[in-house]
Amino acid sequence: MSRVAVEDLIDRWINEPSFRAEIRQDPEGAVRRTGLELTEDEWAALRNVDWQLSDEELTARANMGA
């Protein structure tokens, strides 16, 4: 998966309420159904993403990076 594919995934999350609901319920299944081919690191990253977080909660998680 390229960065462009990651961006497309997030764009769908932003623009398609049905995809947002789908990914919140079953993140791995929702991503698999897009047909994207992911590397081990990319799967690990997408599994670790908390899709339930609101924009405000995500902003609050911004850190200054150690």
Partner 1 sequence: MLLDEAAVGVWAPRTAAAVLERVDHLVGELAVTPEQARLLRQALVGLRQQALGDPTEQDGLRLFVHYPLLVHAAVSGDDAPALPLAAATSLLFLGIDIFDDLADSDLPEHWNGTPPSRINLAAATLLSALPQLAIDALGTSAAVRADLQRIVADGLLRMSAGQQEDLGQAGAVAPEPADVEASVMAKSGEEIAMFGLLAARLAGAPPRLSEAYTEIGRAIGVAAQIASDCYDLFTAARSKDLANGSRTLPIAFHLQHLDGAPRKAFLALIDAARTEPAARDEIRGKLRASGALRKSAVVVELWCQRAHRLLREARPLEPAGERIEHLIESVSFFAPPSDSSIERAEETACLGSVAQRSGRVGG
Question: Least distance to partner 1 from the beta carbon of 31, Å?
Answer: 12
Query: To 5 degrees, how large is the angle CA 30–CA 13–CA 62?
Result: 115
Under rule CB under 8 A, which residues in 2-61 are in contact with partner 1? 3, 6-7, 10-11, 13-14, 40-42, 44-46, 48-50, 53, 55, 58-61
Residue in 18, 35, 37, 65 binding partner 1, rule: CB under 8 A: 65
Rounded to whole angstroms, how far apart are CA atoms 5 and 37? 9
Question: Least distance to partner 1 from the beta carbon of 40, Å?
Answer: 6
Runs of H (alpha helix) within the chain? 3-15, 17-25, 27-33, 40-48, 55-61
Question: Least distance to partner 1 from the beta carbon of 44, Å?
Answer: 4
